[in-house]
Chain A
Amino acid sequence: MPQNAENILDHENLFRQPEYVEMFENKKKNFEFSVPVDKVKEIIEWTKSKDYQEKNFARDSLTVNPAKACQPLGAVFVANGFARTLSFVHGSQGCVAYYRSHFSRHFKEPTSCVSSSMTEDAAVFGGLNNMIDGLANTHSLYKPDMIAVSTTCMAEVIGDDLNAFIKTAKEKGSVPMEYDVPFAHTPAFVGSHITGYDNALMGILRHFWDGKADTAPKLERVPNESINFIGGFDGFVVGNIPEIRRIFKTMGIEHTFLCDPSDNWNTPTDGTYRMYDGGTTKQQVIDALNAKATIVFQQFSAEKTAKLIADHGQEVVSLNHPMGVAGTDQFLMELSRITGKPIPAELELERGRLVDAIADSQAHLHGKKYALYGDPDLMLGLTQFLLELGAEPTHVLSTNGDDKWAAKVQALFDASPFGKNCKVYPKRDLWHMRSLLFTEPVDFLIGNTYGKYLERDTGTPLIRLVFPIFDRHHYHRMPIWGYEGAMRVLVMLLDEFFEALDANTIIPGKTDYSYDIIR
């Protein structure tokens, strides 16, 4: 066999050795009895056609390769953003294992989260006992300051009432009566992870502001000059929040992040295991009620939360993941308007540098076509930035974006000459995108790790700017917000452009006549 102890071949090479190649061929010939190779080829070719696209877009039941995750994932994200808070998902434990691995693969950090581990009898008799035991165990084992409860579908289908269950569990002594257990119903069969983010965050704010499920008096708002910031579900949160904090500090604005997981998912290796690190404290949540205004950076990630805050008398400014020059301008101007503080020269300098960098490289991205998919607000931000660069966001697709979102994207298209031939696709999946990439090819694809199959099938180079990113490390550590973040995104777009150009000119003696030193 080709594998021997002297020279261990790694997986990508081992199975190309003649012995294996022959073995696979024999297996195929003698045992698989599969469709003839020609037929397979023919069908593959057909899937690239306009005819197939029509059938593909006529799908009404099946979703293939969805670009979204479920509500509890968003809820776990939120819980991770509060100080010494443990995320507790009421329902089946398998789901919870998914959330943990999903985040850990993206952030390269452990993600603490527990489940009430419901089983078959819980499904029949209700999950109350699991809640009682679960809260008790969580409290005594991991000693969090707060347990944020959300649900999986299983608990939702049988109709478990979190409010009542938590009350009962407290009465039974699982946790002290005054112990904070905010909760949110987060069924996966409604919405997506951004809905879960919204529900979980609203659950926490309501818990503290509205009398802790009738166990305490409601808080009275005494307005001050502080600003709340809600980032929304964000795969680059580890880089983005420090960047936003820097902007606030530069402008001298008193601020509170409502949900800040940037430390929890960015702990140092120094010999100490931090089960909890950083995050928004309970006192900050309580004080946040008094803020002058709240900035919601991603509107579709916090619609209900925004309403709750507005109902408490605060001004709420909902943005759509503003990025790039004009996007960041808009964000800063809102900050300046609300606080009455001028935008400092330091930020204007950063802005000038960003504009300079864009101008330096304008020839390369101008007129390039992009296909992009992901969460609705991120798509809006990226669309705006691409148009600003003179690029064409030809296909903008979102599985969890609705018609309201699509209208917003269309408005961006309409406002720019580069949006003329661009189209928005709400409630579509990556298999739809596959058809689009064949029938109306683009230069680059912007998406998450799952986009690599599209890259493989269609040959469209992939730029990873969307959660989750499993197959590249540490992108999440760099911001994509603010002028600095826009610089990072610009570099990523340019890098892929140059990589593609180099790859297209790299064959010695054949294409390398354009393999140049200076680009």
Chain B
Amino acid sequence: MGAQLSEKLQDVFNEPGCDKNQGKSDKERKKGCTKQLSPGAAAGGCAFDGAKIALQPIVDVAHLVHGPIACEGNSWDNRHALSSGAATYRTGFTTDINELDVIYGGEKRLYKAVKEIIDKYDPPAVFVYQTCVTALIGDDIEAVCKAAGKKFNKPVIPVNSPGFAGVKNLGNKLGGEALLDYVIGTAEPEYTTPYDINIIGEYNLSGELWQVKPLLDAMGVRVLACISGDARYQEVAYSHRAKAAMMVCSKAMVNISRKMEERYNIPFFEGSFYGIGDMSDSLREIARLLVQQGAPDGIIARTEALIAAEEARAWARIEPYKARLKGKRVLLITGGVKSWSVVAALQEVGIEIVGTSVKKSTKEDKERIKEIMGEEAHMIDDMPPREMYKMLKEARADIMLSGGRSQFIALKAKMPWLDINQERHHAFAGYEGMVKLVQEIDKTLYNPVWEQVRLPAPWDVAGVLPSASVRLPNRPAAQGWPLEGRGENALDSSLSSAG
């Protein structure tokens, strides 16, 4: 690991904005805040992936992955982060290095790749991602980016977050560091207003930002930059001129929020777009911060009026579902901010939360959960698939809300399941999103297939037909834990903390 990179890691691990981090001794802090990986156990994504997903939603930038094919091949455009304009971010750019590059170094190829991108696509900037192999052979992407940027007179941003640096969440932060080091503060907006804000840690998955933006428009608030959902390079570059910031996903980009506060005096708060109450709180907080920063205080009344109207509308639309959903038990397996923001949202419609995972949640996240669910909140730190399966199988829950990777555990346990992570097909943010989420939960719960799934084949009901069904030769009877022998974490339940 290069000296530069380990220095960066120390910096990232020392996060004053994180209570948990500050509660540690110096020695502990040095170890880093990410849990050590245990070899042999299946794990989630790597630091490269984390950096890539954190930055890829910047839509007009060419994201060039310097490494062998697998890194880009597997991460190419797989997160439903939507764009309202340029689609450059959806094109897969990679240096696709080969054996000779490993021997002789891949810097020249990288330089040429940057040149070709600029020649053919002319994006406002090129982001270059370091990967394990190119880091191991010692390719200095910072130097190449510097040289290329100078030569082509175009920002070429190194994102130094090779996979071996750590887990995905660390990569989210390293991606943020790249923005802090090379992008933020490098341009000036045409004009500013007292109502300019940044939204940090929102990725516009399935277009969620668009469910919120009309509300901000109605308040008269301008989103100067969203980092990084549906963002343009220029917006990120001049985002330091915002008056206030909202941080949406705490674990992923707390470093950006805190450092922007330090460097540019932009106060931030942590809020959520999920759930009616949380959405309203977030709007209030935005208004409050802006007034605190000198905006005329008329915005407070405007915001309250908007909240009243929107809440009434949303409740009216949710009302018909309340009777159908009341008392339904939900198991939430997700990470970070969603662990509490979705809890509050679901409680609002009378759904009972039997448990929520806190594997990727911060201390603050956990505090919020306790606030919302009470001290006895059933927090599941790291639920192995076997436990999850058992819980679902025993029908202690009616539905599981999780990311795509836990889907199959739910299905095999005959449990309705709804995707609330990055691969989901619906946007759940804002008032509109909450109505949508309730609709989707209702649809999923009442899908007729669950009845089918839970019933045995009709001929298995004793006495109906000649019994003793014939077993297939060489095929043991399927019983108990269906994933036996594949290791505890074979189906990893961990989910993106950036999502």
**Which residues in A have some Cβ–Cβ distance to B below 8 Å?**
325-326, 329, 332-333, 336-337, 340-346, 348-349, 351, 355-356, 358-360, 362-363, 366-367, 387-390, 416-418, 508-509, 512-514, 516-519
CB distance from A240 to the nearest CB of B (A): 22
Given known contacts A333-B459, A513-B207, A363 and B77 CB-to-CB distance under 8 angstroms: no
Which residues of B421-447 are within 8 A (CB) of A? 423, 425, 440, 443-444, 446-447
> In the complex, are the beta carbons of B87 and A508 less than 8 A apart?
yes
CB distance from A318 to the nearest CB of B (A): 19
> In the complex, are the beta carbons of A518 and B80 less than 8 A apart?
yes
Contact for A342 among B83, B411, B466, B475, CB less than 8 A: B466
> In the complex, are the beta carbons of A514 and B472 less than 8 A apart?
no
B485 within 8 A of A: no
- Selected interface stretch from B112-120, B266-274, B334-342, B448-456: B448-456
CA distance A14 to B448 in the complex (A): 50
CB distance from A452 to the nearest CB of B (A): 28
Q: Which residues of A contact B423 (CB under 8 A)?
A: 518
B3 within 8 A of A: no
Consensus secondary structure, chain B interface: loop
Given known contacts A359-B411, A390-B447, A518-B423, A343 and B459 CB-to-CB distance under 8 angstroms: yes
> In the complex, are the beta carbons of B465 and A388 less than 8 A apart?
no
CA distance A519 to B77 in the complex (A): 12
Q: Which residues of A contact B472 (CB under 8 A)?
A: 344-346, 349
Given known contacts A342-B467, A343-B469, A363 and B443 CB-to-CB distance under 8 angstroms: yes
A sample of 10 inter-chain contacts (CB < 8 A) reads A336-B466, A342-B468, A344-B472, A349-B472, A363-B418, A387-B448, A388-B449, A389-B448, A512-B87, A517-B76
Q: Which residue of A lies closest to B59 (CB)?
A: A513
Given known contacts A343-B457, A344-B469, A359-B411, A519 and B87 CB-to-CB distance under 8 angstroms: no
B470 within 8 A of A: yes
Given known contacts A346-B472, A348-B469, A513 and B82 CB-to-CB distance under 8 angstroms: yes
CA distance A516 to B411 in the complex (A): 24
Most buried by A among B407, B411, B469: B469
Interface residue total, chain B, C-beta cutoff 8 A = 41
CB distance from A377 to the nearest CB of B (A): 21
Given known contacts A345-B471, A358-B452, A362-B447, A351 and B78 CB-to-CB distance under 8 angstroms: no
B84 within 8 A of A: yes
Given known contacts A336-B465, A356-B411, A362-B447, A326 and B470 CB-to-CB distance under 8 angstroms: no
Contact for B464 among A326, A333, A355, A388, CB less than 8 A: A333
Given known contacts A509-B87, A513-B84, A518-B80, A358 and B449 CB-to-CB distance under 8 angstroms: yes
Q: Which residues of A contact B458 (CB under 8 A)?
A: 329, 333
Q: Which residues of A contact B460 (CB under 8 A)?
A: 348
Q: Which residues of A contact B450 (CB under 8 A)?
A: 359
CA distance A473 to B466 in the complex (A): 42
CA distance A416 to B83 in the complex (A): 40
Contact for B411 among A360, A513, A514, CB less than 8 A: A360
Q: Which residues of B contact A355 (CB under 8 A)?
A: 449, 452-453
CB distance from B73 to the nearest CB of A (A): 12
> In the complex, are the beta carbons of B207 and A340 less than 8 A apart?
no
Contact for B425 among A325, A336, A363, CB less than 8 A: A363
Q: Which residues of B contact A343 (CB under 8 A)?
A: 457, 459, 465, 469
CB distance from A446 to the nearest CB of B (A): 18
Contact for B457 among A351, A390, A508, CB less than 8 A: A351
> In the complex, are the beta carbons of A340 and B466 less than 8 A apart?
yes
Q: Which residues of B contact A366 (CB under 8 A)?
A: 443-444, 447
Q: Which residues of A contact B411 (CB under 8 A)?
A: 356, 359-360
Given known contacts A362-B444, A367-B443, A342 and B470 CB-to-CB distance under 8 angstroms: yes
Q: Which residues of A contact B83 (CB under 8 A)?
A: 513
> In the complex, are the beta carbons of A359 and B453 less than 8 A apart?
yes
CB distance from B491 to the nearest CB of A (A): 14
CB distance from B138 to the nearest CB of A (A): 33
